[in-house]
């Protein structure tokens, strides 16, 4: 799977959001906010193919979290990103 590269990260009032950018214009109808850990996963995994295991590794490397909790969080992140159309296969 891969993060959809047509979305761009913007910092709006200290919050990280993903915005769809098409033909140089931002589509503000498609805005998704990212919390700190979701933003970290985005940074670590953007621009390459990855698996849930890769996301687990990113979380355990960055945060003091046990592998089981990291897996649950990574699976939830992938599910949420898929539902928003932000991950493509």
Chain centroid to Cα 3, Å, comes to 7
Confidence check: pLDDT of 72 > 80: yes
DSSP states of 22-65: ETTEEEEEEEEEE-HHHHHHHHHHTTS---HHHHHHHHHHHSS-
Provide the pLDDT confidence category of residue 6 given band limits of 50, 70 and 90. Answer: confident
Specify the pLDDT at position 48.
95
Specify the pLDDT at position 5.
78
Specify the pLDDT at position 59.
97
Domain boundaries of the chain, sorted by first residue: 2-84
Mean pLDDT (the chain) is 87
The tens digit of pLDDT for each residue in 28-38 reads: 556 788 889 99
Calculate the alpha carbon distances from 46 to 8, 9, 22, 41 in Å.
11, 11, 18, 8
More confident residue, 59 or 7: 59
Q: Show the CA angle centred on residue 43, arms to residues 28 and 79, nearest 5°.
A: 70
Q: For residues 26-52, give the mean pLDDT.
A: 85
């Amino acid at each position: 799977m891969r993060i959809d590269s047509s979305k761009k990260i913007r910092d709006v009032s200290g919050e990280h959001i993903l915005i769809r950018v098409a033909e140089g214009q931002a589509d503000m109808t498609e805005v998704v906010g990212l919390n700190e850990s979701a933003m970290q996963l985005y940074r670590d995994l953007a621009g390459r193919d990855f698996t849930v295991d890769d996301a687990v590794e990113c979380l355990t490397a960055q945060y003091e979290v046990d592998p089981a909790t990291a897996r649950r969080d990574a699976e939830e992140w992938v599910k949420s990103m898929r539902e928003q159309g932000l991950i493509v296969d």
